[in-house]
Amino acid sequence: MRETWKSKIGFIWAAIGSAVGLGSIWRFPYVAGQNGGGAFVLLFIIFLLAVSLPTLMTEIIIGRKGQLDPSGAFRKLGKRAIWGKVGYGTVLTGFLVSSFYSVICGWTLGYLIQSFWGGLSHLQTMGESKAHFDLLLQSPYWAMGTHLGFMAIATTILYVGVQKGIETGNKIFVPMLFFILLILAIKGLTMPSAKEGLSFLFSFKFKDITSEVVLMALGQAFFGLSIGQGTMVTYGSYLKGRESIPYLTLFVALAVILVSLLAGIAIFTTIFSVGAEPSGGPDLLFQTLPIVLGGLPGGYFLTILFFSLIFLAGLTSQISAMEPLIAYWIDEKKWVRGKAVIFCGLGSFLLGIPSALSFGIWQKYRIGGETFFALISNLSINVLIPLGGLAALVLAGWFVGTKETFLHLRIGTGYFYAKNPIVEKILHTSIKYLSPILILLILLHLLKAF
């Protein structure tokens, strides 16, 4: 018998947990910092509501209607074998994401452990912090050990199952994540240069909008909702038939925006107050913030809180990235859950080894001028995830058809669409035309077609 969520609240917590992981707390701030702040933030919110949210709805519809893993659901609804291969492609995307994601999440585990025993308290300058971080990354034992430790924790939760593992874990972890993030954001607002940080995050200038900023904002909007990688199709397949998909997905999207902005507030108010560089890049959390937080009153506890936050955020997203492949093996290969989880965890760990070593002993080995980590993360986030979202939109909007798609969107909404027909028209236009066209244009630009 196929597992289901115990309640709609369980689905909401799991979907939010998947969406508000390191994509919102680790990636959003540093990408915003590298792309001008306010312009990126505005485009991110627009893309998330206009493109990513309708895509999220279609993926959950595909999952709930198909009641199968992404490959099976795409094949069932598309009524052609090729659609099964497309769905399997999204499963592989999630698997790729889980391999490099675990590496970054492993760093958070390592820093959380160090923060508990005071291993970061001796760092006084940016030079010392960078040297400490680089020394850790140069150690294959630390890089591999943290990657393995984090993967073991995620695999254990997945092994327990959908209700007892994923649902119960997210019910505990996600509220904790919100609570810790809120404390850090409030603390940031009390910093001396908080206004400068807020201005950087929310001030919008047209000149800051470039093709690169547009591309990064769209990629973040997709990555931030965990779409295009099989996760939401899989989670939708565990959803009962009476739940309102628009209500559930809107709640998830607003939560992602809130968490992203809170993370930006917490980080940029703090960074500007100590004169640090907002465009610090992927290493921002691990090189800058230990110094910043350690120098504040109660710095020991703030550091523990912060790395607890990003560890929990990473954990909730990691389990969601692995679940599609597990569901695929259970549905298509008839494996028992335990076997599927162990093989997925082992495979993700092994594939993550080159990424883990890309910052250390394998840094000099490049593919097309990029490290293995940079190559696989850029390919996944900027190409494969948007392609997966595009496939869901085409399937729901053109092959299944918007008429049947909207039958699912109306479930649980009462007379809302009858009283507000403009909302249905907007969603119809977005699912069938606007979202696919925008994704195609961005991908063509990425491929230098213009």
**Closest by CA position to 373, among listed 103, 26, 30:** 103
CATH number of residue 118's parent domain: 1.10.4160
Backbone angles phi, psi at 370, to 5 degrees: -120, 150
User: What's the confidence (pLDDT) of residue 145?
Assistant: 95
**Structural domain includes residue 3:** no
Q: Give the list of residues 6+ apart from residue 176 with CB closer than 8 angstroms, or none.
A: 308, 312
User: What's the confidence (pLDDT) of residue 38?
Assistant: 86
pTM equals 0.84
pLDDT band at residue 7 under the 50/70/90 scheme: low
**Structural domain includes residue 2:** no
Q: Give the list of residues 6+ apart from residue 244 with CB closer than 8 angstroms, or none.
A: 411, 412, 413
Asked if 146 contacts 109 with a C-beta cutoff of 8 angstroms, the reply is yes
* Dihedral angle sign, alpha carbons of residues 286, 287, 289, 291: positive
pLDDT at 365 over 90: no
What distance in Å separates the CA atoms of residue 4 and residue 12, rounded to the nearest whole number?
Answer: 13
Our measurement of the distance from residue 8's CA atom to the centroid of its chain's CA atoms, rounded to an integer in Å, reads 21
pLDDT at 348 over 90: yes
User: What's the confidence (pLDDT) of residue 70?
Assistant: 92
Distances 188 to 212, 236, 247, 299 between C-alpha atoms, Å: 29, 37, 32, 13
How many domains are there within the chain? 1
**Structural domain includes residue 1:** no
User: What's the confidence (pLDDT) of residue 369?
Assistant: 84
State which residues form the domain around 301. Answer: 8-446
What distance in Å separates the CA atoms of residue 340 and residue 161, rounded to the nearest whole number?
Answer: 11
What distance in Å separates the CA atoms of residue 417 and residue 197, rounded to the nearest whole number?
Answer: 41
User: What's the confidence (pLDDT) of residue 364?
Assistant: 86
Q: Summarize pLDDT for 118-173 with one digit per residue, the tens.
A: 777 777 766 777 788 888 888 999 999 999 999 999 999 888 765 565 666 667 76
Q: Map tokens 């006084």 to a residue.
A: 124
User: What's the confidence (pLDDT) of residue 276?
Assistant: 65
What distance in Å separates the CA atoms of residue 294 and residue 18, rounded to the nearest whole number?
Answer: 29
**Mean pLDDT, to the nearest integer, of 415-444?**
82
- Which amino acid appears at position 20 of this protein? V
**Structural domain includes residue 78:** yes
Q: Summarize pLDDT for 78-99 with one digit per residue, the tens.
A: 989 999 999 999 999 999 999 9
pLDDT at 288 over 90: no
User: What's the confidence (pLDDT) of residue 72?
Assistant: 92
H helical segments located in 123-244: 126-138, 140-160, 168-189, 194-202, 211-224, 231-237
What distance in Å separates the CA atoms of residue 279 and residue 55, rounded to the nearest whole number?
Answer: 30
Length of the chain: 450
What distance in Å separates the CA atoms of residue 16 and residue 252, rounded to the nearest whole number?
Answer: 5
**Structural domain includes residue 130:** yes
DSSP symbol at 411: T
Q: Summarize pLDDT for 192-241 with one digit per residue, the tens.
A: 888 888 888 888 777 777 877 888 888 788 777 878 888 889 888 887 76
Asked if 183 contacts 347 with a C-beta cutoff of 8 angstroms, the reply is no
pLDDT at 296 over 80: no
Backbone angles phi, psi at 367, to 5 degrees: -120, 110
Q: Give the list of residues 6+ apart from residue 146 with CB closer than 8 angstroms, or none.
A: 106, 107, 109, 110
pLDDT band at residue 74 under the 50/70/90 scheme: very high
**Mean pLDDT, to the nearest integer, of 419-441?**
85
- CB atoms under 10 Å from CB of 249, counted, come to 26
What distance in Å separates the CA atoms of residue 252 and residue 247, rounded to the nearest whole number?
Answer: 9
Which token pair is 361? 């002993």
Residue 171 or residue 360, greater confidence? 360
